[in-house]
Amino acid sequence: MKILVINGPNINMLGTREPEIYGKTTLEDINKELVEYSKTLGDIEFDFFQSNHEGEIVDKIQASKGYDGLIINPAAYTHTSIAIADAIKSLELKAIEVHLSNPQQREDYRKISYTASACVGVIAGFGKESYKLALLGLINKINE
């Protein structure tokens, strides 16, 4: 199984950016933990991509042929990007939206997700464990 993991703007700053909300774990640490966790679930290959630029994220999604699934943390683009939502909708693969924090417990503008409707599920609020839960959910959706 081949999974693409995309992270949006400012996720590269994890570990130092608002640790009271996002924790002290870096994106590199999350990626390593996800790979280690996946070994308990089967033969899974990952490609990781992070960008602060909406168009680069859209391009990466559009170039995702050959993947079985997508885990995406659109970050701030969750609340603004119809372009990313449309790119996900154009895929023939399943996608799970993931967030470290729970947007429903934060500012009102974070409670709206344009990208969630393009995904088969959303995992939010479990910190770095959100990525592992998203992987588990994605595998279940792929195998349905």
- Beta strands 121-124 and 69-73 are unpaired
| Cα 50 off chain centre by | 10
The first and second tokens of residue 26, run together, are 């870096």
Which of 5, 25, 1 lies closest to 15 in space, CA to CA? 25
* Active site amino acids: 22, 99
